[in-house]
Structure 1
Amino acid sequence: MKKFYILLLILTTQFTFAQIRFQNIPENAIYPESKAVETITATIPYQGYEETQAYFGQGEYEIFLDNLDGVLDKPIIILDGFDPGDARDINGLYASLSFDGQNMADILRNEGFDIVILNAPVYNTGGKDIDGGADYIQRNAMVLIAMIQKLNADKVGNEELVVLGPSMGGLIARYGLAYMEANSLDAETRLYISFDSPHRGANIPISLQYLINYFAIQVGDATAQQVVDQLLNSPAAKEMLLDHLKGHLLAGSDFEQDPTKVLPLGAPGFRNEFQAELEALGFPSSVRNVTMINGSGNGTTTGSPGATVVDTNLTIDALTNIDVALKFTPPTNQTNTVTDLTVFFAGIPVNTYATTSQSPSTSAGLDSSPGGTGSISDALGDGGGNQVLIDFINALQQDLYSFIPTMSSLAIDNPDWYATPNLANSPFVNVFIQNTNEDHVTVTAASAQFALDEIRNGTIGISENQLNNQFVLSQNPVSSNIVIAIPKNSLNTQVTTSVFSITGQKLMQQTWNTPQGEISWNQNLSSGIYLLKIDNGISTQTIKVVVQ
């Protein structure tokens, strides 16, 4: 039995490496030359839901000046995402912007922009140890506010800031900017870019949560329990996860499921409270809000509801083996066993553990919904040389799961996580979205172009909000059709759309009479970048279009 419990400890320890993958650093990433890391402390304290007093948050930052004049005059803040234990440092955050042998930060610095990386470290404040990368989103937002105020005081000239928030960083940015606006604090910020951020919650398969927690509890090892406490039970995870094991535990037990709690439930005292607070603040109205996401925009799923993740027998030694079966949460309004574990010693079952999940009547389970994906094998470090883990990974029937559902990253309030999103219902005025589900916070050439265009447009004079952001592209890059979303309350008797080359040559034009919902315009343009001009007879709007 001892070797079995050692296995459990190994599995739990390996799961800690999953957190690094919550914000992807691509292969052959381009790292900066680090010079001077500084510390910044919030001037506004925050008291968490389970805290007895308020604490001042801390961050660390580094300024990478532009490669033209080396003067801090066009700051762009890049925020940290969910990163327990500060496994991804400032250089790693910079490198995460790499794509196709390039780095978006390098491109911007070559064009005169200054990159400011704001990391959430592990620190002690007021006698309390805080893991910044997994701390309350609100307290990290207070650190961002201090960073914004410092940059606005130190910068040369009047250029307004840009804030790019990958993953949880997008929530920190949204909360911070909206808080400043609500409290009459001038952010001097023109653009907020959310990057696959969980505006309506994140997902880690509840079957995995149950399994990891069970391993930790049954081993009884202090280090294993610390893994659960610092990751799944961290303030940030409890604020973001739509379905959290804490919501399902039997009273008086730290691992058994309450059989009456099978529908998705967030962490008590955290999830609903945070979402209500976020919704009450809303989005900053004085800032241009755009998003780039990794989830599919056409309903493409990540596997299928109720799919078997793994169903295998793992041999521990000559006397010990374990049956492990995990499933995705089920189809709409159905129930299934998501975690099923049986331990055998000398062929005799000596321990069992099973949990059940039910999907609501409005949607199938989150695990297979369209969204930016997480990977189980990546989370396990591809086995880390441990043969039992390697056997487990080789037995996986479903490796990817939906980590940030498309509806969440678009901040669309729709109870059906599988519906094709209506971008007119999103609060973002411009959206980058594709037809496939990609690894969470993966930068591609197309998404980098979207972000670069948004950042540059504030300085080169191409306006994209002359119609109060009335029109948005449903997908950018576009494929066979240019689809333009029209808000429900829009009154357009006639709309003329035109496509120009970057050099100004008119390539296409069409007039639409009383369009409603959306305009779908067939195109056969060559791959490249074009300008889409929209004229409703009152004013015009120009949007850069990327054709794949």
Structure 2
Amino acid sequence: MKKNYFLILFLLPYMFFAQAGSESTITEINSTIPFQGVDETESHIGTGEYKIYYDNIDGVLDKPIFFVDGFDPNDTRDIPSMYGLLDYGNPVENLADVVRDEGFDLVVLNFPTYTRTADGAEINGGADYIQRNAFILIALINEINSMKTGVEENVVIGPSMGGLISRYALSYMEQNTMDHDTRLYISFDSPHLGANVPIGIQYLFNYMLNDAGITELEPLVNGLLNSPAAKQMLIDHYLAHVDAGGVDQSAITHTPLGAPNYRDAFQTELTNLGFPQDIRNVAISNGSNIGQMTGTPGMELINHTFDVEFGITATADIHFTPAANQNITVTDVLLSIFGFPVTYSATAESPATSDGIDSAPGGQFDLYSFDDGSNALITEFVDNLNSQYFNFIPTLSALAITDSNWYTTPNMTASPFVNAYIPDNNEPHVTLTEDNVTFALNEILENALTTQEQVIVDNYIKIAQNPINEHLTLITQKNFKNTSISITDLTGKLVFKTVTNLGTKTDIPINVASGLYILNINTQEGISLREKIVVR
């Protein structure tokens, strides 16, 4: 018995802590709060899956960062590919690797396709109702909070729709006296005021599927346009403009309208819920800060004749939505079936307050992503586009700034976010860059309990604060003479070098641009260190 007792004592640390740099298995997580969607007769719980990537320091789950998946209508992303989405820069770095090197644990939440036990329905989790996915996140936050050690509060990062899921979950927890134990929420190009898919494309795809019978488009239409999440987020939706047959345009106004029973109801609920109050809320936009457009209002996106099959051709002429107060044909299709013509057209009108949303400043949707090489017709469509991109997440939407003109230059005093990164040029949706990663790291590291006095080498040398401003302040327990200090960027280029004596507290002026760097310190006593720092 005594041998078993000592064996238990020996193994105890390994029973509760993972090794540095290790990973958990992928684990299923179910919400405990049911939700009833618009098209459902009763409420249901949701199912997700998560994986913990432990830090590279001690492998103890004590500094969780939640990374919440966004819109994934056909379940094309699994957890490892989500990790890969955090790559950035040249040479390639990975944000997850960086934060794990700083002692943080990454908790990745995915919403996969699953079969619901209650009724056997197949649920496309990546495009399910935003509320139900938010309740899954709440369950995960509660579970991780029960598992973690220490007093470090959580960080929650929500890219794309994941930002809405995160916002809803955190606000819901606060308003229902649930402790989220979270200090920072980073919204990454999330559509707080809605997302956009050109209405001309919507009409085209819906017509080609539901009238012309091109079934290859079914996954695209059902996921990108007709899923619950798409109908909750899209500012303009074809369902608001078609007649009872579901294809032909009705006489209802052709200015932007969301999907009936979905869009306005969700936006009202989200607005009433607001933002979490006990958290620092910051945002990253991929949309331009200076009014740069993607294309121009009313531009021709494609005008091409497709050989659909033997004896059938289709000519499609698609345009972006027009300038303010104008009404144009955005979808014009001519089918020729063994010489017999069949036509279809639809118009769109922009409001008097704003040019069409398709070309407004914003995070861009890459139309080339439609083509995975499996469908020759879609490949032909992509090959003949006049623009690779359209505005997907308007800059103002990513910043939650309400304005009737989508082209208005952002004024952060009108945003609920206390800080934001906005590039000058439009970027593809949820693209990580050196600049927005630096912004995110600055926010993550600044208020972490362990970064104000970070131990570098066995208590010999400490960085007083990281991120740093104009001075690098080092604290030591003894004096070091002729210490070599250098800073390189991530390409290895030397940007700063000095040799100096270190006292108990030494301020070293530096003059380098904001960004992520590598600090190298070498003392005459043979103490060497290499550490990432953020300069702001």
Q: What TM-score, normalized to structure 2? A: 0.79
Q: CA deviation at 1:110?
A: 1.0
> CA–CA distance in 1 between the matches of 2:117 and 2:414?
41
Structure 2 contact 435–515 (Cα < 8 Å) conserved: no
Counterpart of 1:190 (choices 156, 166, 183) is 183
The residue identity in structure 2 corresponding to 1:501 is: E
Instruction: Check if 1:214 corresponds to 2:183.
Output: no
Equivalent residue number for residue 141 of structure 1: 134
> CA–CA distance in 2 between the matches of 1:95 and 1:449?
18
Q: CA deviation at 1:398?
A: 1.9
Q: CA deviation at 1:191?
A: 0.4
Counterpart of 1:68 (choices 51, 57, 71) is 57
Instruction: Check if 1:338 corresponds to 2:338.
Output: no
Q: CA deviation at 1:53?
A: 1.0
Q: CA deviation at 1:323?
A: 1.7
Q: What are the within-5 Å matches in structure 2 for residues 103-502 of structure 1?
A: 103-123=94-114, 124-127=116-119, 128-220=121-213, 224-225=217-218, 227-250=220-243, 252-316=244-308, 319-345=311-337, 348-381=339-372, 384=374, 386=376, 388-459=377-448, 500-502=469-471
Q: Secondary structure at the residue paired with 2:146?
A: helix
> CA–CA distance in 2 between the matches of 1:418 and 1:280?
25
Counterpart of 1:45 (choices 29, 34, 57) is 34
The residue identity in structure 1 corresponding to 2:109 is: L
Deviations along 1:40-87, whole A, 9 cap, x unmatched? 111111111222211111110000111110010000000010112321
> CA–CA distance in 1 between the matches of 2:512 and 2:181?
39
Q: CA deviation at 1:322?
A: 2.5
Cα 1:323–1:129 change in 2 (3 A) is closer
Return the structure number with greater relative CO, CA threshold 8 A, min gap 6: 1
Structure 1 contact 170–195 (Cα < 8 Å) conserved: yes
> CA–CA distance in 1 between the matches of 2:113 and 2:311?
43
Q: Secondary structure at the residue paired with 2:348?
A: strand
Deviations along 1:150-184, whole A, 9 cap, x unmatched? 11111011111100000000000000000001111
Q: % of aligned pairs identical?
A: 46
Deviations along 1:204-236, whole A, 9 cap, x unmatched? 111111111111112447675465334311110
Cα 1:225–1:400 change in 2 (3 A) is closer
Structure 2 contact 163–187 (Cα < 8 Å) conserved: yes
> CA–CA distance in 1 between the matches of 2:213 and 2:315?
21
Equivalent residue number for residue 15 of structure 1: none
> CA–CA distance in 2 between the matches of 1:121 and 1:393?
28
More moved, 198-207 vs 255-264: 255-264
The residue identity in structure 2 corresponding to 1:360 is: P
Q: CA deviation at 1:313?
A: 2.5
Cα 1:396–1:225 change in 2 (3 A) is closer
More moved, 453-462 vs 350-359: 453-462
Q: CA deviation at 1:370?
A: 0.2
> CA–CA distance in 2 between the matches of 1:500 and 1:173?
31
Cα 1:385–1:232 change in 2 (3 A) is closer
More moved, 44-53 vs 183-192: 44-53
Structure 2 contact 48–109 (Cα < 8 Å) conserved: yes
> CA–CA distance in 2 between the matches of 1:324 and 1:219?
13
Cα 1:155–1:500 change in 2 (3 A) is closer
The residue identity in structure 2 corresponding to 1:527 is: A
Q: Secondary structure at the residue paired with 1:338?
A: strand
Equivalent residue number for residue 87 of structure 1: 76
Cα 1:34–1:314 change in 2 (3 A) is farther
Q: CA deviation at 1:293?
A: 1.0
**Which structure has the larger Rg?**
2
> CA–CA distance in 1 between the matches of 2:33 and 2:269?
17
Cα 1:283–1:85 change in 2 (3 A) is same
The residue identity in structure 1 corresponding to 2:60 is: V
Cα 1:138–1:112 change in 2 (3 A) is same
Cα 1:247–1:155 change in 2 (3 A) is same
Structure 1 contact 84–133 (Cα < 8 Å) conserved: yes
> CA–CA distance in 2 between the matches of 1:52 and 1:390?
40
Q: Secondary structure at the residue paired with 1:459?
A: coil
Structure 1 contact 57–125 (Cα < 8 Å) conserved: no
Counterpart of 2:513 (choices 500, 519, 527) is 527
Structure 2 contact 31–47 (Cα < 8 Å) conserved: yes
> CA–CA distance in 2 between the matches of 1:358 and 1:59?
40
> CA–CA distance in 1 between the matches of 2:346 and 2:44?
38
Structure 2 contact 318–332 (Cα < 8 Å) conserved: yes
> CA–CA distance in 2 between the matches of 1:53 and 1:257?
32
Q: Secondary structure at the residue paired with 1:85?
A: coil
Cα 1:225–1:461 change in 2 (3 A) is closer
The residue identity in structure 2 corresponding to 1:75 is: P
Structure 1 contact 502–529 (Cα < 8 Å) conserved: no
Structure 1 contact 259–356 (Cα < 8 Å) conserved: no
Structure 1 contact 121–131 (Cα < 8 Å) conserved: yes
> CA–CA distance in 1 between the matches of 2:471 and 2:198?
45
Q: CA deviation at 1:462?
A: 8.4
Give the number of aligned pairs. 444
Instruction: Check if 1:503 corresponds to 2:492.
Output: no
Q: Which runs of 5+ in 2 are unaligned?
A: 1-20, 453-467, 475-510, 517-533
Q: What are the within-5 Å matches in structure 2 for residues 509-548 of structure 1?
A: 527-529=513-515, 546=536
> CA–CA distance in 2 between the matches of 1:129 and 1:427?
37
Deviations along 1:407-465, whole A, 9 cap, x unmatched? 000000111000101111111011011100000000111111111111111126889xx
More moved, 433-442 vs 215-224: 215-224
Structure 1 contact 296–370 (Cα < 8 Å) conserved: yes
Say what the alpha-carbon RMSD is for the aligned residues: 2.3
Equivalent residue number for residue 17 of structure 1: none
